[in-house]
């Protein structure tokens, strides 16, 4: 019975030492992260101060820039190609009818939809 309590005391001592080592390691990691953050923030402040120096304004252009007129292009061929691609991806033999087409400015909406409907 005496050996049981001796082994129990040894196990408790190993547990306490293990927990102490883990928490000391975590505290060291936290301190190193704060130190690295402080170093990087001080470098950012220095670059902001250097960038804040006044830059001379460029001279105003003497001639107005020509206005570029955009003409509407008939996109029926492009619409047909897109419809064929959609029909090929669908895989069913149903007829596909495109009711309206509108241009989307930029890829922002497509990227957002890809991220939202990814999962």
Query: In this structure, is residue 60 part of a structural domain?
Result: no
Q: What is the pLDDT of residue 61?
A: 59
Residue 107 domain-assigned (yes or no):
yes
71 occurs within a structural domain: no
In a domain, 13, yes or no: no
Q: In whole angstroms, how large is the CA radius of gyration of the chain?
A: 34
Note the pLDDT of residue 35. Answer: 93
CA–CA distance from 26 to each of 21, 38, 40 (Å)?
Answer: 9, 19, 21
- The answer to whether position 88 is within a domain reads yes
Owning domain of residue 94: 76-114
Identify the pLDDT of residue 17.
96
- Profile the chain (119 residues) by mean pLDDT over runs of 10 residues: 78 94 97 92 74 61 61 72 83 77 71 77
> Is 86 contained in some domain?
yes
Report yes or no on 62 lying in a domain. no
Identify the pLDDT of residue 13. 93
First vs last C-alpha separation in the chain: 59
The residues, ordered by sequence, that sit 6+ positions from 110 with a Cβ below 8 Å of its Cβ are 104
pTM summary value: 0.37
Residue 96: per-residue pLDDT = 76
Q: For the chain, what is the domain count?
A: 1
What pLDDT sits at residue 22?
A: 97
């Amino acid at each position: 019975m005496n050996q049981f309590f001796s082994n129990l005391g040894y196990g408790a001592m190993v547990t306490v030492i293990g927990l102490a080592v883990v928490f000391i390691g975590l505290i060291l990691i936290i301190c190193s992260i704060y130190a690295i953050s402080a170093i990087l923030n001080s470098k950012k402040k220095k670059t902001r101060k250097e960038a804040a120096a006044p830059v001379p304004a460029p001279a105003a252009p003497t001639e107005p820039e020509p206005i570029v007129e955009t003409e509407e292009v008939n996109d029926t061929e492009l619409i047909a190609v897109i419809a064929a691609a959609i029909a090929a991806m669908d895989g069913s033999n149903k007829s596909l009818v495109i009711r309206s087409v509108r241009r989307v400015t930029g890829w922002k909406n497509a990227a957002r939809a890809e991220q939202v409907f990814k999962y």
